[in-house]
Chains A and B, each alone.
Chain A
Amino acid sequence: MSKLVVPGEVVAKGNFRSWANVLKKGEEYLSIFVGRAEIGGGRVRVIRLSGPYIPKVGDFVIGVVTDVQPLAATLDINSYVNGYIMANAFFKRRIDPSKFDLSKKVNVGDLVAAKVQRIERGKDVVLQPDQKWKVDGDAIFYISPAKAHYLYTSRSRIPSKIKELTGAELRLGANGIVVVKGDLKKIEMVKRALDVIESKYNLNGLYNEIIKVLNKDGKSADN
């Protein structure tokens, strides 16, 4: 099982080929986060357990539209930076802003699914809308961006297992926004699964924990 480490704690000693989220000091590798240490295969890394969503090119995210201008929409992507979608990207061609009205496509408050296309000047996150960019659902939840990003990058089986056991439709953004489609009972079950993700920090044990909670749900519903 991976070990819990705190900032400044020695994660490993020796020589490693690659490392992440640690500082190398001589032979020692010190964690810079509260996280889970993973050591092996010449590699040492810490998976952080808290902190903001840090956009990476290629990430699938869900954002909330906060502003619509003729040429671009601004999105709150649950991060310290905003996401932008150019009007062209919505219309899939160059447009003349005097003839097209972006506010006919998206409005403030809408949820949009998109991929991080590029990050300009280290700060402006330009998004490419997904094929099915309009996210409609029956419920929205926020989970810790650090954990969401871990589930996303590790191709975790957790989201598909939640879908399977609850029967709800689910879209999970790497930025921690989860949109669910289904009736109130299904939403309630998804919420319980997400509560497990939120309250537990043993990443290796999450999968089984969620199955346990949802199976209990299934049984009590039959009674």
Chain B
Amino acid sequence: MMPSKKLLVSAVRKEQILKSLAQGKRVDNRGLLDYRPLSITPNVIEKAEGSAMVKLGDTHVIAGVKIGVGTPFPDTPNEGILIVNAEILPTASEYQEPGPPDEDSIELARVVDRGIRESKMIDFSKLVIEPGKHVYTVYVDISVIGMDGNLFDASSYAAVVALLTTKYYPVVNQNGTLVKGSEKVLLPVQDLGVSTTFAKVDSYIIVDPTWEEESMMEARLTIVYDKSGNICAVQKGGNGALLVDDVLNIIDLAKSKSEEMRKVLEGVISNA
């Protein structure tokens, strides 16, 4: 497959971005370790069991959760199923062609999936209707509507807020037939994985890169921390490399940054 689409950043613009970084500022006026304005709106799609709209600067993502009933995988008969799917819609940028998910969409889905799965955010052992026969399938579908960099964090925040605000009708087995319950319940949530993404542009480490910054970065690093401060998912992106010291530095920066973002996410969820 072809490598992902990059913007052509003009020489003057590159200089402008680098000069600004040298003075400790981004071209949009934030600091090197500041996120863009973030807005998260849960329950935007009434027909979905859970949903959230995220705007991170001009990056615009919506995630929806649907709960279905399915057959468990043979190797995990006592666990519900998680399916995460993402599509960078052609609405997002002029470089995005309509068609089946490309490698960027698939990488995005898999990284979000890892953050949810490995943080043990949801107790899948509680999503069993009848062991070996019927379990809940949790579909998380992510649509990237508008794109201006850092799709990973925006998509992850949309997905976790959608999951943590999901309400669905439980299903019970009554004499061999599955019957819908009468009262909606929440998913069995036990943790919250928080994603933060850093990029190295020239010699500078920055958080929450824009598309322009991603187009001129060496590489990018996404880290997911769980509630207890364990690292539970990592993804290096971009066709350049990071120094070992950069990685160690980012791991520490990500820890404090993820605590800050955790408060934001928890605030949104408790007000939903």
A and B in contact, CB less than 8 Å: yes
Q: Indicate with 1 or 0, residue by residue over A111-135, a CB within 8 angstroms of chain B CB atoms.
A: 1000000000000000000000001
Interface residues in A41-74 by Cβ distance below 8 A to B read 64, 66
> Taking the nearest CB of chain B, how far is it from the CB of A100, in angstroms?
22
Of B11, B19, B23, B25, which one neighbours A109 at CB under 8 angstroms?
B11
Task: Give the docked Cα–Cα distance between A170 and B195 (Å).
Answer: 41
Check A109–B14 contact: CB distance below 8 A: yes
Chain B minimum-CB-distance residue to A108 = B8
Q: Is the Cβ of A76 less than 8 Å from the Cβ of B8?
A: yes
B235 adjacent to chain A (CB < 8 Å): no
C-alpha gap A69/B25 in the complex (Å): 37
Contacts of B9 in A (CB 8 A): 109
- The residue that B12 contacts in the complex, of A76, A108, A135, A184, with Cβ under 8 A, is A135
The interface bits of chain B over 1-17 (1 if a CB of A lies within 8 angstroms of the residue's CB, else 0) are 00000001111111110
Task: Write the A135-178 contact mask toward B (1 if CB under 8 angstroms, else 0).
Answer: 11111100000000000000000000000000000000000000
Q: Residue B20 at the A interface, CB < 8 A?
A: yes
CB-based contact A138/B11 at 8 Å = no
Indicate if A86 sits at the interface (CB-CB under 8 A).
no
Interface centre among B8, B11, B15 (most CB of A within 10 A): B11
Give the distance in Å from the alpha carbon of A25 to the alpha carbon of B254 in the complex: 64
Scan residues 212-254 of chain B and give those whose CB is less than 8 A from a CB of chain A: none
Smallest CB separation, A6 vs chain B (Å): 23
Q: In the complex, which of the residues B8, B15, B16 contacts A64, with contact meaning CB atoms closer than 8 Å?
A: B8
Is there a chain B Cβ closer than 8 Å to A179's Cβ? yes
Assuming A184-B20, A184-B23, is B12 touching A137 (CB within 8 A)? yes
- In this assembly, does A110 line the interface, its C-beta being within 8 Å of a C-beta of chain B? yes
CA distance in complex: A164, B25 (Å): 26
Known: A184-B20, A184-B23. A138 touches B15 (CB 8 A): yes
Which residues of A lie under 8 Å from residue B10 when comparing CB positions? 64, 109-111, 140
C-alpha gap A111/B8 in the complex (Å): 12
- Residues facing A in B1-57 (CB within 8 A) are 8-16, 19-20, 23, 25
Quick one: closest B residue to A177, CB to CB?
A: B10
Residues of B within 8 A of A66 (CB): 8
Within the complex, the shortest CB–CB distance from B153 to chain A, in Å, comes to 26
A138 pairs with B8, CB closer than 8 A: no
Q: How far is it, in angstroms, between the C-alpha of A135 and the C-alpha of B15 when the chains are bound?
A: 13
CB distance from B202 to the nearest CB of A (A): 15
Distance (whole angstroms) from the CB of B187 to the closest CB of chain A = 42
Check if B12 sits within 8 Å of A111, measured CB to CB.
yes
Q: Specify which chain B residues have a CB less than 8 angstroms from the CB of A179 in the assembled complex.
A: 12
CB pair B23 A139 closer than 8 Å: no
Partner of A139, one of B8, B11, B16: B16
CB contacts (< 8 Å) of A136 on chain B: these are 12
Bound together, the chains give a CA A107 to CA B10 distance in angstroms of 10
Which residues of the other chain, A, contact B23 by a CB distance below 8 angstroms? 184
Chain B contacts of A108 at CB under 8 A? Answer: 8
Given A184-B20, A184-B23, also A111-B15 (CB < 8 A): no
- The answer for the CA separation of A107 and B8 in the assembled complex, in Å, is 12
Q: How far is the CA of A140 from the CA of B9 in the complex (A)?
A: 10
Determine the chain A residues whose CB is within 8 A of the CB of B15 once the complex forms: 138
Q: Give 1 or 0 for each of A79-100: 1 = CB within 8 Å of chain B CB.
A: 0000000000000000000000
The contact string, 1 if C-beta is below 8 Å from chain B, for chain A 175-213, is 000010000100100000000000000000000000000
Least CB distance from A63 to B in Å reads 10
A76 to B9, CA, bound (A): 11
Q: Using CB atoms and an 8 Å cutoff, list the residues of chain A in contact with chain B.
A: 64, 66, 76, 107-111, 135-140, 179, 184, 187
A-B contact pairs, 24 of them (CB 8 A): A64-B10, A76-B8, A108-B8, A109-B8, A109-B9, A109-B10, A109-B11, A109-B14, A111-B10, A135-B12, A136-B12, A137-B12, A138-B12, A138-B15, A138-B16, A139-B12, A139-B16, A140-B10, A140-B13, A140-B16, A179-B12, A184-B19, A184-B23, A187-B16
Query: Shortest 8 CB-CB distances between A and B: which pairs?
Result: A109-B11, A139-B16, A64-B10, A140-B12, A140-B13, A137-B12, A109-B10, A111-B12
Chain B positions within 8 Å of A, measured between CB atoms, are 8-16, 19-20, 23, 25
